[in-house]
Structure formats: structure tokens, C-alpha cells
A and B are shown apart, each in its own frame.
Chain A
Amino acid sequence: MDFLLIILLIILTYFTGSIIEKRHFKKIIKREKALIRKPIISYGKRFTGRNKKIKKVELVTGETVISGDYFKNFAAGLKNFFGGRLTSFESVMDRGRREAILRMREKAKKASIIVNTRVEAVMLNDIYTGSVPQCAIIAYGTAITYE
């Protein structure tokens, strides 16, 4: 009975997980396209902006907590045995990070540039028991607005 339940859960979460992921990726790509003209860089030391008058400098952040699903966990468990890329978790982390960065950029829509972008991630639940991972991601940077 337990075995049957797990099979059912795997089949169900395969559908829910893939639908949610597809929708999420669609949204992310759309939002990234909208922000394509906004520069964002990952260094800050060499950025001086000496030639331009600066109106506002502020710290901006974007947060998200992304979760895998039961099917992905199961698939990754199998793949882990043979080694290689765990593609099911790659996509989870990818969209989590992109979502966090997008939220940060959307907060700083009026800024001219975002410098020194950093992304920080941490697992919220116990990864050693083999439960479905939840990952908390913070992206942050300095938004600079020119006059």
C-alpha cells in the first residue's frame, strides 16, 4: 500500500512539477526580455562613475525560496547512483537564482545600473535525510541612479 502511494505521488508530482516549471520559465524569460536594456554587472571595485553626476545610491535585494518536487527528488536519487549531471535539480536552482535576480532588478527599475551583484543561497531543510530540497536565495547589489 505504501509502495503504491509513493508511485502515485511520483506520477502526480511529475505532472505538477513539470507544469509549474514550464510556466515559471516562461515568466522568467518574459521578464528578462523586458529588462534587457538595464545593465547589471558583478563587479564594483573598478566602477567609479566619476564622469557622471550621481543622484541616488541604494542597496537592493531580491529573495526567493524555491523547492524541488517529489519526482525530481526521486529522479535525482536514481541519477546520483550512476553519477553525472543531475539535470532535474539544475533547472530548479537555475530558475531560483534567476527569479531572485529578477526581483532585485525589478525593485531598481528606475536605477541606471546595478553593480556588484552577489547571490547567496542556503538550504532550508535537512538535506542529509533525502527530503525534497528547499533553497533560499538572496540576490543583492548596489543600484546607482545618474542624474
Chain B
Amino acid sequence: MILTNIESVPGMKIAKQLGLVSGSTVRAKNAIKDFGAGLKNMVGGELKSYTELLVEARKEAVARMEEQAKKLGANAVINVRFATSAITVGAAEVYAYGTAVIVKPIEV
């Protein structure tokens, strides 16, 4: 599966458009890590446990999007966008969406 966030796949042409695909996830860390992050929040710096959370959430959202695209028979998703929102304290929502397409290499 090829993912891009531009409106084409460089070096290939779009044979067929299959429509919008999306995947979203809301994830949270356990209470102990929340407490640790709360302390770190006071002294400043990067909150590593929350970064991890964001990475996991992004991976899962992309995986769900890819799954949907595969069901449609696509081999690429173009114009992928990420949207994040704060739904509650200590949780992250990541929403990934794009257009599923079938691409073919350009014959030279």
C-alpha cells in the first residue's frame, strides 16, 4: 500500500478512484503513566509517555484506513490528512483520511 499526502503518486498515474477512506482511534494511557505525566507537566519538557500514546494512535488510525482501502481493492491512498482532537484529559484522538485509488506505473 502506497500512502502519500499529495494529490498524486509521483511516477505513477491514477487509473481509478475509489472514494474516501478513513480510520480513527481514541487511546488513553493507564492512570500511573497519567500521574507521571502530570508531574512532568509541572517541571516542563517532553511528555514521553504521551508521545508514545500519540504514535500508537497514529499507527492504529493509519492501519484502519489501510484496511478499508484494501477492502475496496485499492493499492494506494492519496492525499492523506491527519486530524487530532482533544476529547478528554489524557486521551488522544487521531483521525486519518484519504482517497483510495488504483495506481499504475507510467509507461515510458
Contact = CB atoms under 8 A, between A and B. Distances in A.
Interface in B62-108: 62, 80-86, 89-90, 92, 94
Interface stretch (A29-37, A56-64, A79-87): A56-64
A141 B10 CA distance: 14
Tier of interface size on chain B: 35 or more
B70 to A, nearest CB: 16
Interface residues of A, number: 48
A121 B10 CA distance: 28
A63 B54 contact: yes
Contacts of B18: none
B46 A67 contact: yes
Given A116-B6, A120-B83, A138-B84, A57 B43 contact: no
A138 B37 CA distance: 19
A24 B45 contact: yes
Interface of B: 2-11, 37, 40-47, 50-51, 53-55, 58, 62, 80-86, 89-90, 92, 94
Given A66-B46, A124-B90, A142-B4, A57 B82 contact: no
Given A63-B55, A144-B10, A69 B42 contact: yes
B50 A65 contact: yes
